[in-house]
Each structure stands twice: as C-alpha cells, then as structure tokens.
Amino acid sequence: MKKSLVALALMGAFGGAYAQSSVVIYGTLDAGVQKTTNTANTATQITKRDNNKLGFRGVEDLGSGLKALFQLEIRYEPDTGVIESTTRPLFQGQSRVGLQGAFGTVRLGRGLTAYQESTIAFEPWSGLPNVAGYQTNLQVAGYTSDPLSAAGNSGNRFSNAIWWNSPVWNGFQLNVNVASKEANGSPAIIGRGTAAAPQYGANAMASANPYSISATYTNGPFAAMLATERNAIETKLWSMAASYKPTTALKLMATYTKQDLEHTVAVNNEVDAWVLGANYTVGPGKFLFGYGQKSPDGQLKTKQISVGYEYSLSARTYLYVDLASKKTPLTATATSDVNQKHYALGIHHNF
Amino acid sequence: MKKSLVALALMGAFGGAYAQSSVVIYGTLDAGVQKTTNTANTATQITKRDNNKLGFRGVEDLGSGLKALFQLEIRYEPDTGVIESTTRPLFQGQSRVGLQGAFGTVRLGRGLTAYQESTIAFEPWSGLPNVAGYQTNLQVAGYTSDPLSAAGNSGNRFSNAIWWNSPVWNGFQLNVNVASKEANGSPAIIGRGTAAAPQYGANAMASANPYSISATYTNGPFAAMLATERNAIETKLWSMAASYKPTTALKLMATYTKQDLEHTVAVNNEVDAWVLGANYTVGPGKFLFGYGQKSPDGQLKTKQISVGYEYSLSARTYLYVDLASKKTPLTATATSDVNQKHYALGIHHNF
Amino acid sequence: MKKSLVALALMGAFGGAYAQSSVVIYGTLDAGVQKTTNTANTATQITKRDNNKLGFRGVEDLGSGLKALFQLEIRYEPDTGVIESTTRPLFQGQSRVGLQGAFGTVRLGRGLTAYQESTIAFEPWSGLPNVAGYQTNLQVAGYTSDPLSAAGNSGNRFSNAIWWNSPVWNGFQLNVNVASKEANGSPAIIGRGTAAAPQYGANAMASANPYSISATYTNGPFAAMLATERNAIETKLWSMAASYKPTTALKLMATYTKQDLEHTVAVNNEVDAWVLGANYTVGPGKFLFGYGQKSPDGQLKTKQISVGYEYSLSARTYLYVDLASKKTPLTATATSDVNQKHYALGIHHNF
C-alpha cells in the first residue's frame, strides 16, 4: 500500500524504504587563553589550540566483508561560535562517502590529502594546528595542498577528489589521492606571469590533476612514512618521517620535507624543513617537545622550539599548557627576524 | 526547588522541564564522476547525482491520535563540503513543524510545495535533480516555485508557508499549501515592465499569495496525480500524471505539465512538457528509462532520452550509472539546438 | 598495534582512543502567523515567537564529583530555513566548554551573559524574544551586551569570554562572566567622537574588559536577582528583580533596570525601565500578563501591555496566542509616539 506523502517526507526519502542507520555524532571543543608576541594580534585572547569539530559519521555493513562509510565534519571557532572562516565550507573538516573491503578503502569528496593525513603521526603536537605545534608550517615546509581555493581556505585538503587506502600488509599501507581539475573560486596567482597576465587567473582550473601519495610502515615500536604530493599549481612536495618508541612512555619523531615551487617561482624556489619531536607520558600527564627549522632558498630561516604539557582528566578530556619560541622573518624579503613567544592554557574535550 | 542557572542552560530550555525526545538523524551522501558535453563546464567532475542531505526529525506522540512533528534538513555539496549555494538557507531541504491527527497533517515553515512533492512519484529518476533525470526541467515544464527568492535559490519550495495534507481516503489524498506574500531578497524581475520600472522590483513582495494544490490517488498497481500551483509572480502551472505497475518489477510513468507565464510575459507565454518513464527491477539491479519533451511557445523544443542503472549493495546503498542525451537550445532565442551527452558513475548512500 | 589511517580518520580523532560519549540533540521549532501594526513590515507573516534552536550538548563524568560539559547551539529562522542572520555565527545560541565540580561551573567560549541569563526568570514571557515579550527591550532598559560585534548580531551575548557559576549556597548563587577585549568586526561607533574620528573605529577592540555579574537568591516561593554588567564600549547596567508565587499556579514578577551610557553619550545618557508580570496556570493552559515602561532621558517613554496564552499539548509542545499594545516613539528624536498592535498565533515544539 502506498504511504502518504507526509509519511514518506518524514522518512526523509522518496522511492524506497531503508533500514535506520546508527549515525555517530562526535566532535571536539577546545578553548583556552593564549598570547603570542610580535604578531599582528598580541592581545591576550580566548581562542583554541586544536581544531573544533562537530561531526557525523557512520558505517554500514553490506555483508561479505564490504562496508559503506560516510563522514561529515563541521569546523568552528569555540570563542565566537562562527564556522572557521566565511570562505570555508560548512563541512570544512571533510565530506566523504565510500566503500571498504578486501581492496582497502575508496572514498570520494573532500578531506585531508593522503600526505597531510599521514604526516600527523610524526608531529609532536599530533597535528594540532596551533602556534606551539609544527603541522601547518614547518612540518610541511610551508607547503599548501589547496592553492586554488578561495582566500582563507584550508591548506591541507583536496576537494573534488578520490582516495584509496590500501589494506595494511605486514605493517605497510599505501594511500593514494587524486583530485579533478575543477575550479574552486580562487583569486588570481601571478606566479611566473604578470599582474596583467597572471599565471593562474581568478577562479582558474588546476593545470594538472593534484595528487597525493603516502606509504606508511609500522613494525612494533618503529613507524615510518614516505610521501609525495603535487597541488593544483604544480608545486611539488616530498617528505620522509620516522618515529620510534624506546619505551611505551616515550615516542621520538623526526620529519624531513622539501617543497619545490619551480612551476610558479623562477629563482629561489625550494624550501626544506625538518622537525624533531618527542612525547613522554607520566601517569595522567604527557609532555610534548619539538624543535624544527624551515629554510626557504634566499630567505631567512624560521626556527621554532616548543614544549607542552597535557593533563588528562579522562580519556576524552585534558587540560593543557604550551610554551613556544619562534625566530622568524615577518616577510619573505625581511633581513632580520623577530622572536615570537607563545603561551597557551586551556581545556580540550572530545565528545 | 529551583534548579541552578547552569543546570537549566544545559537543558537547553528555560521556563519548564520536558521529556527527552528521540531525534532521528538521517541523510544522503551521493558522489561520483560525471561529464556533460556542450555545457558551460564540460570537464570531468567529482560531483553528485542526488541532493545531499543531513537532517534531523522527530515525532512526539501527544495521545488521542495526535502527534507533533518537526523536520530540519541541511543540503550540501559532497565534493567540496559547502552548503548548496551561498544564497540558499542552511536548512534548504526543509524546516517545518506541525501537528498530525484525524484531520491530516498541518505544518508551517519551508519545504517542497505540495505539487513538487507529489510529482516526484511519477518521475523515472524518483525526482533526483540530476542531468539524466527530468525533475527540475521537463517534469515541471521549466516552472519555478520560488521566483522571488535570492538568485541561486531553490526553485521547488515555498518559504513562509503552511501545508495541509489530508488523511488518505480510499487511496485519495489532497495536499494544499499556501505561502504568505513576504519579500525574500530577490533581484528585480522586468516581466511586463522595463529595466527602469520592472514589474517586480528588487526584494519585492508577492503580488498574490502563492499556493500549491495536488490530489493523488492510489489503487493497487495504479496511481495518479492532478495538481495546480501559482507562484509569487503569478505564473501558473497545471499537471497530471499517472503510473501503473503491470508486474511488481515494472513501473510505467507518464506526466503532462503546462506552465502559463501570462502574468509576466506578453506573447509566447505557455510552455508544455511531457515525460514518459519506466523503472524495471531485476534482482539487486534497477533500470531507469525516460523520454520527454518541453515545448515553449515560439522557441525550439528540448528533447531528452535517458537510461540509468542502480545496483543495490543494501537497502541503503547503491552504485549507479547514467547515460543521457539532450537536444536543447542554449538560449531562449537560439535558432539551433545542441546535443548534450551526459555520463555519470557513482555511489549513493542513505544513513 | 598501529591502527590504519582510515580507522583513525573514521574515529574522528588522531593521537588517542577515547570512550564514546552520549551527545544529546535538542532544539525548538516555533512557527506561527503574526502581524504588527505601525512597523516597517505590517504584513501578515509566517514567523516565530521564540528562538529556534538545534543544539548538541553532553556531560562527561570525570569522577570525584568533577564533570566536563560542552554545548553548541545553532539558531535559525523556521519560516525560511536560514540561520538567524548572515552576520550571526552558526552557533549563535552558544558554544562553550567547561568543568563542573565543588567549585561550581567554569566555562569558556560564547553564550548569554551572566546577567542576561539570570534576568530571564523574571520576565513574564520567560525571555522569549518576541514583540509581546519584554526581554530584548524593556526588561534590559534597551541595553545591548555586545555593541562591538558585526551589525545585526545578537545583543545579549559575550564572545571570547569566561563564565563562573558558583554552587548554590542556601538558595544563593553568584554568576560572574568576563570577556577579552578582542575585536569582532563591528562598524564604527561615533559615540563622543565625530564621523571622521569616531570614539570606536571599525573593528575596534573593547576599551575595557566587558563583564557581567548576577547574584540570585531563591527561598521557597520567593526569588530575587541583583545584577550589573559593563559592555565593550563601557555602557553600564544595573538591574534588580524579584518573583513570588503566592500559590503554585501563580507567579508574580517585577524588574527594575538602569542603563548608563555616559561613556559614549554626553547628555541624556541614562535609561531606566521597569516591567511587571504574572503567569497563571489553569490545567493545561498558562496565561501571561505583562506591563512595562522604558524612560530614556530626554526622549518619549515606551509603554507596553501584553497578554498571552499557552495551551500545552504535552510537556514539550504548546499552542500560543499573544496580544500586545505598545506606545513608542519611532526614533530617538520623535515628538510623538505610535501605537503598535501585535497579534500572534502558533505552535511551539521542543525536541
């Protein structure tokens, strides 16, 4: 018998009944007090240390070892309640759907690139995008994964992309990620052109398909990564990283990354960077240490040292303190650097 | 005893305790690879075939056969994570609240018009708003339900409206929907005016209350619809449709629709269109066929033939392929048409 | 053993496993038909009487009487599906995280100020921000908590703030709330300056830390509040309020509030206002009464009388009717007032 229109509408679907799924709501709310000297905004601020997330995900068992999976993740600022930026998508974190089986996992949509997702495990702040951590600058040698998106957008994701993560074979996993060339509302990029004839015009399409590949290996206390990526304006990146746990309480990390800007920059078009890190767990506490350098050809180096402490109130909630000192030029042509001191104190809650 | 402010705030409500409800989260994530020739964007794209939804709904039993119901539905693009358009509402899908009882269902808010909701059952792609399907163009004879919203808005919804769906009497149901005349931020519409004195100025109010009425009838394998609608600029629409299932595996569909633009267009102000369709189920597979024509007075016809295949991995997840060929003029005054070929391949997941 | 990247990504967190939380989804959908005479929009509208909410909250038990708590609250317009204003945050309602224990509750983020949250209990429409109610104008003597936010923003919240709510001691509770001086995208405020040199330029920082303090006391049928607040442009507010329940069915309320604009206004820089109210419950029905006056120095008074009726269909759902009459000048310099009549009828549903 035909269901009434209203009954169908309330089911949220036309054209077929379907089993109720179990959507998991998850997220992070991280807020604290911070201050950074020698920056555009040196005031004491209420702000975040981690990304703030509100996400929805689910896995459907299709039988025979096959699963369908989806994930949608909102990102927002906890201190003002806004989404991360007016030019960022509602589901800035990710929006992906795919299948998982003996062949690994295939997903379509938007998310962290294969490389950006893999490098997090080798960064002493676990990839948290804050001033004390290294993820968004030194860990990636200043590279951006998405230069042809609107200004203010995220720099470590692909939109319009497909992902393949292999199964884990004896500790080894391959992650491959390719994006279409679709335009995404970027401003013009002069590059090797001129202001009148920029190398990439406003709302340009990629000149080649962006891709990202990482290979990871884990063997007991040892883990390593090799990765390469090319973005929409053909900037290339290579990275290698390793970690070792001499005891269960201590994790040592090292990363080396090289960015090649030759496609858009005529001279001084390489940047390399390295980061050393350690995490040390003592009871409910965890100490974080990091030191790193970024060396762009023909520019002053950036050097950063950081120390952090996380005190767990539970598996989901911790308090944190960060201290960092960064010597960095304020512009690419600066002939002297400044010393930015950073202080942070706050609470991190996963739900 | 008075609860503390915090306790009240955490309950999310002041001024009264209330029972916890059971909110259902539901949605659709549909992504694939597509290409359409002879359009503004002929590149191979990662994009969607269906609307992508994240919704929240609930039903509260009030006793005596009475129920309160609500539904909120976000729409987004899976390939980039953005909401459907910057000029579309967060809850583009719908935001409605109402009561259901012996009198039927009464709802207030925003949602598909009664006609647009009813016609979906007679469209071979189940109303999916993609290139291979017919819903947004031929099925509705090019009509738009909401011409006085901001540019880029949805064309098949009323905002500021009230809905009544009757109970089902011997297979017969009446659906009535009326909107207020409220302005909603539209650009000017010249219509029978001039650029200097447009018939509807920017942010104009409706010149008459928009309404939408559909009557549906179902009797075993047979279903039919009669509908009429008038939008905010007094464009009128009439439609009739029928479907028949000679076997449980086969569904045949036909729709005829006429749009009358007399209120805003002096000559050649009628458009008619018809669509024939079939769905045929074989095991986990479903074939979709469609053919249709749209004939605007004094313009070239649009003719479209489509074939699709959906392979179900479960009741909630399927893979799909679409092929379509459309002969259409690119502008209203074109003297020749182009042939747009469309190819799509992807995954559709309901949660 | 190391989890695969995909498994980690699907968990929504890197760097640590955590127990699944129980997120509560809650909200309000309120829609009805309204009309107000002598205003910019006198048409009959489909609109709301209460804030419309979709929220996510949770409490984690940390042991030893300590709890972590978070809350995120979307606000939207039910009639069109949009968020409350394009200049308001996605989580306009609130975004806060904190800890609760023997010390009370400490939270960081964005939310109602301590004063604005406390005064709601003494307003006859329970703080509902509609025309018949008093919350957004007479109850607060025309004061705004957030003058340095973008135009169109909420007037009763602090962003970038910290809250402390004390435990309840013999019915007494203290609520303290301080915000940082961070700029938040406001237009310039001339104040005691000139158009060329406004007292607060565009995107100005606060000239002093905004704070809000309320003390509440409850003893059986009696409750009272004393509060003071200073906003980002150093406007000050004092308020006292009391309520008494001679029977369980009847609640009487009175509020007196004074706003001091001396920091930005040279002469006639005080506003005072008082509101009297009553709620009377009869079976499933509740009558609301209110009368109030606002007296800005050197301007005409605003006087408002309102009556409302709420008929509960359940603990979560009610129907309502409001009638209000307001005598008010249309501008600060008006020499005569107009009489605005307001009529509302609708449904309120909590989920």
Q: Does B180 touch chain C (CB under 8 A)?
A: yes
DSSP string, B62-108: EETTEEEEEEEEEEE-TTT--BS-TTS-TT-SEEEEEEEETTEEEEE
Q: Enumerate long-range contacts of A186-189, CB under 8 Å, 24 or more apart.
A: A186/A147, A186/A148, A186/A149, A186/A150, A186/A151, A187/A150, A187/A151, A189/A147, A189/A148, A189/A233, A189/A264
Residues of A in contact with C23 (CB under 8 A): 25-27, 351
Chains in touch with B (≥3 Cβ pairs < 8 A): A, C
Q: Does A310 touch chain C (CB under 8 A)?
A: no
Name residue A324's beta-bridge partners: A306, A342
Per-residue pLDDT of B301-344, as tens digits, reads: 999 999 999 999 999 999 999 999 999 999 989 999 999 999 99
What is the reported pLDDT for C21?
56
Average pLDDT over residues B248-259: 98
- Model confidence at B151, in pLDDT bands (50, 70, 90)? confident
Residues of B in contact with A5 (CB under 8 A): 117-118, 165, 173, 175, 216
Residues of A in contact with B83 (CB under 8 A): 89-90
pLDDT greater than 80 at residue B11: no
What is the reported pLDDT for C258?
98
Q: Does C70 touch chain A (CB under 8 A)?
A: yes
Inter-chain residue contact A98 with B347, CB threshold 8 Å: yes
Inter-chain residue contact B4 with C165, CB threshold 8 Å: yes
What is the reported pLDDT for B152?
83
Q: Which of A345, A222, B272 is nearest to C108 (CA)?
A: A345
Per-residue pLDDT of C89-142, as tens digits, reads: 999 999 999 999 999 999 999 999 999 999 999 999 999 999 999 999 999 999
Parallel, antiparallel or unpaired: strands C24-36 and C52-63 = antiparallel
Please give, rounded to a whole number of angstroms, the shortest distance from the CA of B231 to a CA of chain C.
Answer: 16
- Sign (positive or negative) of CA dihedral C327, C331, C333, C336: negative
Inter-chain residue contact A351 with C95, CB threshold 8 Å: no
pLDDT greater than 90 at residue A14: no
Average pLDDT over residues C256-272: 97
Per-residue pLDDT of C223-248, as tens digits, reads: 999 999 999 999 999 999 999 999 99
pLDDT greater than 70 at residue C333: yes
Which residue in the set B11, B66, B109 is minimally distant from C78, CB to CB? B109
Contact by Cβ (8 Å): A342, A322: yes
Q: Which of B89, A50, B142, B166 is nearest to C13 (CA)?
A: A50
pLDDT greater than 70 at residue C347: yes
Report the C-alpha gap between A71 and A117 in whole angstroms: 15
pLDDT greater than 60 at residue A6: no
Cα–Cα separations (whole angstroms), residue A91 to A165, B89, B107, C44, C342: 22, 15, 29, 36, 40
H or E element in which residue C117 lies? helix C114-119
Q: Which of A302, A307, B181, A284 is nearest to C63 (CA)?
A: A284
Chains in touch with A (≥3 Cβ pairs < 8 A): B, C
Inter-chain residue contact A58 with B316, CB threshold 8 Å: no
Which residue in the set C25, C99, C162 is minimally distant from A46, CB to CB? C162
Per-residue pLDDT of A82-138, as tens digits, reads: 999 878 999 999 999 999 999 999 999 999 999 999 999 999 999 999 999 999 999
Which residue in the set A21, A25, A160 is minimally distant from B46, CB to CB? A160
Q: Which of B49, A240, B5 is nearest to C100 (CA)?
A: B5
Cα–Cα separations (whole angstroms), residue B286 to A214, B249, B280, C154: 38, 9, 5, 51
What is the biggest distance separating any 2 CA atoms in chain C, rounded to whole angstroms?
78
Which residue in the set A47, A223, A315 is minimally distant from C2, CB to CB? A223
In chain A, which residue's Cα lies nearest the Cα of B165? A6
With tokens 């990636």, the residue in question is A140
Give alpha helix (H) positions in A104-220.
114-119
Residues of A in contact with B47 (CB under 8 A): 160
Q: Does A70 touch chain B (CB under 8 A)?
A: yes
Please give, rounded to a whole number of angstroms, the shortest distance from the CA of B152 to a CA of chain C.
Answer: 14
Residues of C in contact with A175 (CB under 8 A): 5
Q: Does B95 touch chain C (CB under 8 A)?
A: yes
Q: Does C29 touch chain B (CB under 8 A)?
A: yes
What is the reported pLDDT for B20?
46
Report the C-alpha gap between C252 and C243 in whole angstroms: 5
pLDDT greater than 90 at residue A154: no
Cα–Cα separations (whole angstroms), residue C137 to C89, C128, C226, C336: 22, 12, 18, 19
What is the reported pLDDT for C41?
87
pTM: 0.93
Q: Does A193 touch chain C (CB under 8 A)?
A: no
| Contact residues, B window 266-295, toward C, CB-based 8 Å cutoff | none
Inter-chain residue contact B180 with C347, CB threshold 8 Å: no
Report the C-alpha gap between C272 and C270 in whole angstroms: 7
Inter-chain residue contact A46 with C180, CB threshold 8 Å: yes
- Model confidence at C20, in pLDDT bands (50, 70, 90)? very low
Inter-chain residue contact C43 with B180, CB threshold 8 Å: yes
For chain C, what percent of residues have pLDDT higher than 70?
A: 94
Q: Which of C247, C248, C228 is nearest to C238 (CA)?
A: C228
- Sign (positive or negative) of CA dihedral C134, C136, C142, C143: positive
Report the C-alpha gap between A351 and C21 in whole angstroms: 5
Give alpha helix (H) positions in B91-171.
114-119
Token pair recorded at residue A203 = 């709302």
Q: Could you tell me which residues come within 8 angstroms of residue B247 by beta carbon, excluding any fewer than 6 positions away?
A: none
Q: How many CB atoms lie within 10 A of CB B336?
A: 8
What is the reported pLDDT for C184?
87
- Picking from B95, B106, B146 by the largest number of C CB atoms within 10 A of its own CB, the best residue to mutate is B95
Q: How many CB atoms lie within 10 A of CB A211?
A: 18
Q: How many CB atoms lie within 10 A of CB C73?
A: 25
Print burial letters for C169-197: b (CB count within 10 Å at least 16), e (below 16): eeeebbbbbbbbbbbbebeebebeeeeee
Q: Which of B93, A30, A351 is nearest to C60 (CA)?
A: A351
Average pLDDT over residues B27-43: 94
Inter-chain residue contact B10 with C59, CB threshold 8 Å: yes
Report the C-alpha gap between A293 and A151 in whole angstroms: 26
Please give, rounded to a whole number of angstroms, the shortest distance from the CA of B84 to a CA of chain C.
Answer: 13
Q: Does C73 touch chain B (CB under 8 A)?
A: yes
For chain A, what percent of residues have pLDDT higher than 70?
A: 94
Q: Does A165 touch chain C (CB under 8 A)?
A: yes
Q: How many CB atoms lie within 10 A of CB A266?
A: 9
Cα–Cα separations (whole angstroms), residue C96 to A277, C3, C90, C99: 32, 31, 13, 10
In chain B, which residue's Cα lies nearest the Cα of C173? B4
Q: Does C243 touch chain B (CB under 8 A)?
A: no
Please give, rounded to a whole number of angstroms, the shortest distance from the CA of A160 to a CA of chain B.
Answer: 5
Please give, rounded to a whole number of angstroms, the shortest distance from the CA of A106 to a CA of chain C.
Answer: 10
Q: Does B142 touch chain A (CB under 8 A)?
A: no
Q: Does A345 touch chain C (CB under 8 A)?
A: no
Q: How many CB atoms lie within 10 A of CB C248?
A: 8
SS3 C274: strand
Report the C-alpha gap between A28 and A74 in whole angstroms: 10
